[in-house]
Structure 1
Amino acid sequence: MDDPILPNLTVQQLEYLVAAAGSPTRAAAAASLGVTPSALTQGLAELERRVGVPLFERYGRHTRPRPQATEVLAHARRVVAETRDLARWAEAQRTGRAGVVRLGTIDAVAVHHRAEVIRRHRRDVPGLDLRLTVAPSGVLLDALLVGDLDLVVCVEPTGSIAGLTTSPCLDEPMHAYAPDGVHAGPPEGWGPWVTYPRGSHTREVIAAGLATIGAPFAVVAESNQPEVLREMVRLGMGWAVLSAAQAESGVEPLDRVRRLPVGTRRLV
């Protein structure tokens, strides 16, 4: 037997049927949906026409569902309930309270500046799958450009990048630190330095800041990890320019060479 032609029913018509079956009068059903009784009656009449089966009968001054309306009503309740679930899901997606967000940050953001914000967001919005990637700024921007990340917080690049929109997050002062026992004289005698690898956005900020105050920038060791750079300073391998959050947190914090920062890196 061939399948019958499907009736062209709308969710609104089915919602009218559910409301009419659960209300004492058509007027009450219409009020519960925020429509006029006339609109409700017309919608139910159109539903009957499209189904091809009489669904209501007169009972005094009122109408009530016929026995054959039972199957249609059960179907209507399922469709309306599932459509409401779909609407809730779509709203959660639009408002960012559900779905997947691939966030990339540099280590200073994930560990120091926004660690509590990230933890609180995971706790307060359990429906959102927040996937965190921690990497250097250049790596994050490359991943963003190819679509592997949705959002990044990194050091502001020196020039604009086509296709990307940036907003300031915070300005982070960068200070100079020397090994214990080293006398910090004029900037002309500072160094040698342990710092970030070539191509690092933070290294560009450091190099520009040291040049401004007349300090040489002779590099003897490199690492992408500020914790490693801090340990190199403790071991006497060289000086470093780091943020206070990276250099002065935890046990054995480093001491600043001077009060004023060498430069400031902007996180976007």
Structure 2
Amino acid sequence: MDLRLLRYFVATADAGSATRAAEVLHVTQPVLSRQLRQLEASLGVPLFAREGRRLRLTRTAEDLLPRARDLLAHADDLERAVGVLASGRLDELHLAVPSTTLTDVLAPFLATLGPEDPVAMVRELDPRGAVAAVRAGADLAIVTRPPARSLASRALAVLPVWAYVRADDPWAERGSVDVRDLVTRPLVLLTEDLRPRPLLDAAVEDAAVGYGDVLEVSNAQVAQALAASGRGIAVVSDDPRFGLVPLHIEAPAGRVRIRLYAAWDPQHHAAEALAGLAERLSAFCVERYGAEVAVR
């Protein structure tokens, strides 16, 4: 079906006369009349009945009109989508992000975006990782493990895993703590499915020591809340809360740190734009946390 003829039909129905419709469409009335007759011939039904100088829609045309409007609206949407795809730009940015990264890194970054940037749509990262997130429709996945080689990716930052103590704790002025000393104190640790925990586990194993009194939780903010209430030292990677003081954790292989990566489909129509956003996010991390988090 010729969409141009449908547009003539809708315009004529809206105008109520061929003369006014021709003016709106910037064609002559004879041309418009021929196009309408062609549409009627192709459909096999009459669309207009003439009443003096006005055109009245037939009952069939009244039934067809809302469907024609809907079809044209979908065609316009498709044309806009093709334009976006062809240009390599993004109107919406679908992000998959771990909860801690969303709160402390991504949300503050999104606040710096301007009206020319895509609208961000954020959801929780698929626990299976970057590949699953991208397959589920994420344009950009933020992860704490190196992404699969099938994805394009960029290392964003190297952030500390902190040991949080209360301001009145004897260690509050130390700035850092050796992992061998850390395990002698009651600890509030995240569960093993959250990245800071296996990083700490590896540091403890390298130091040839073991845990003592441990309380496990599945949320970093809850861990800090428990530390603030005196339940132990919280080991998490998020920003400080509840007046707690952060300590670097020293281990045989160096300070315990967590890496952030951005990953996306290399065949994405806006792959270049996604790479640019990842670059901006990396620069934002350095601006927010200092040069020591820069990827080297």
1:173 alignment counterpart:
160
Contact 1:20 1:26 in 2 (8 A): yes
Distance 2:195 2:76 in 1: 42
Q: Which residue of 1 aligns with 2:283?
A: none
Residues 6-31 of structure 1: per-residue CA shift (max 9 Å, x gap):
xxx65432321333462526752542
Post-superposition Cα deviations, 1:229-254, rounded to whole Å, max 9, x if no partner, equal 33554566654443351xx22x3323
- The answer for the alignment partner of 2:69 in structure 1 is 81
CA 1:36–1:215: 2 relative to 1, 3 Å: farther
* Alpha-carbon distance between aligned partners in 1 of 2:70 and 2:3, rounded to the nearest angstrom: 10
Q: Contact 2:180 / 2:209 at 8 angstroms: preserved in 1?
A: no
CA contact (8 A) 1:176 1:262 kept: no
Paired residue for 1:18, among 7, 10, 17?
10
Larger mean Cα displacement after TM superposition, 109-118 or 224-233 = 109-118
Q: Using the alignment, how far apart are the partners of 1:217 and 1:155 within structure 2?
A: 29
Q: CA deviation at 1:160?
A: 1.9
Equivalent AA in structure 1 for residue 181 of structure 2: W
After TM superposition, the structure 1 = structure 2 runs for residues 117-128 of structure 1, keeping only pairs within 5 Å, are none
Give 1:5's aligned residue.
none
2:37 matches 1:45 = yes
CA distance in 1, matches of 2:72, 2:256: 57
What is the rounded CA distance, in whole Å, between the counterparts of 1:215 and 1:235 in structure 2?
A: 29
1:11·1:79 contact (CA, 8 Å) conserved in 2?
no
Q: Which residue matches 2:127? A: 140
RMSD of aligned residue pairs (Cα, Å): 5.3
Relative to structure 1, is the Cα distance of residues 172 and 150 closer, same or farther in structure 2, using a 3 angstrom cutoff?
A: farther
Is 1:177–1:241's contact at 8 Å kept on the other side of the alignment? Answer: yes
Structure 2's unaligned 5+ residue stretches are 85-89, 263-296
Shift in CA distance, 147/258, structure 1 to aligned 2, threshold 3 Å: closer
Q: 1:186 to 1:113 in 2, by over 3 A?
A: closer
One-letter amino acid matched to 1:17: F
Q: How does 1:1-268 map to 2 (within 5 A)?
A: 10-20=2-12, 22=15, 24=19, 28-31=23-26, 40=32, 42-50=34-42, 51=44, 53=46, 70-71=58-59, 73-75=61-63, 77-87=65-75, 105-115=97-107, 132-133=123-124, 140-141=127-128, 145=132, 150-151=137-138, 154-158=142-146, 160=148, 171-178=158-165, 180-182=169-171, 184=174, 187=178, 189-192=180-183, 194-206=188-200, 210=203, 218-220=210-212, 221=214, 222-231=216-225, 233-234=227-228, 239-245=233-239, 248-249=240-241, 251-256=242-247, 262-268=256-262
| Identity rate, percent | 17
Letter in 1 for 2:224: R
* Change over 3 Å in CA distance of 1:254–1:203 after alignment to 2: same
Structure number with bigger Rg: 1
Using a 3 Å threshold, how does the CA distance of structure 1 residues 38 and 204 change in structure 2: closer, same or farther?
farther
> What TM-score, normalized to structure 2?
0.52
Once residues 64 and 143 of structure 2 are traced to their aligned partners in structure 1, the CA distance between those partners, rounded to angstroms, is: 54
> Letter of the aligned partner of 1:181 in structure 2?
P
Give me the TM-score of the superposition, normalised by structure 1: 0.56
- The structure with the largest strand share of the pair is 2
Q: C-alpha displacement at 1:44, in angstroms?
A: 2.3
Corresponding pairs, count: 232
1:182, 1:26 → 2: CA distance? 81
Q: Is the 8 A contact 1:16 1:40 kept in 2?
A: yes
C-alpha contact (below 8 Å) 2:165/2:246 kept by paired residues: yes
Q: CA deviation digits over 1:213-239, x for unaligned, max 9?
A: x86663342333223433554566654
